[in-house]
Amino acid sequence: MKKFFLIIFSILLIDQVLKIYIKTHFKLGGGIDIFSFFHIFFVENPGMAYGVNFGVGYYGKILLSILRFFLIFLISIFLYKNIKKGYSKYLTIPISLILSGAMGNFLDSALYGLLFDTGTVYSKEYQKWIPYIGVSKINSNFFEKKGGYASFMEGCVVDMFYFPIIDTYIPGWIPFFGGYNFQFFKPIFNLSDVVISIGVFSLFIFKHKIKNVKIL
């Protein structure tokens, strides 16, 4: 049990340290180039993993945060029961990765509106998410639950990894596709998204080694 707790805690710690550093050192929409195909590019995401939001508005955002909470609760029970039963690590380790990633993004949604003094907020008047100018600071009144940029469950997820592996202009003389800029792998994501993807991929790869799974 301690090993799985260490996996989850370590990923959560690295994920949150990285996000808080990005949030407090970069302007929204700013970043640095690491390689030609790898950039640190700070964006805030009110939706799901890899920037998917399906047009999430204010109530959709709250619903998504609540859904994340219940999924974390169910995954935690599922993981605990299967660890106690001593079932395959080909199941429990990937589930630990998925749980840690889900918890990482949930913490952003649940607490970042309280933790930081400014962030992306939803305008009910214009019915869209409004970005901010400048660099965020840690809210000194966090424990008093005031002074943040949003209420509980209203924060946005911090994303920063950007891999435009292919970024090129397609000549206009090419039929149908010409005259446009083509970019392969546009999503901007974070460490939580990465470990969730690794967990899901591992379950798929090693599914033949998983037996006697204890459902909730």
Give the DSSP letter string of 152-194: TT---EEEEEE--SEEEEEPTTSTTTTTEEEEE---EE-HHHH
Residues with a known catalytic role: 159, 193
Distance CA 198, CA 133 (A): 34
30: amino acid identity, one letter: G
Q: How many of the other CB atoms lie within 10 Å of CB of 10?
A: 11
147 contacts 191 by C-beta, under 8 angstroms: no
Q: Is the dihedral of CA 208, 210, 212, 216 positive or negative?
A: negative
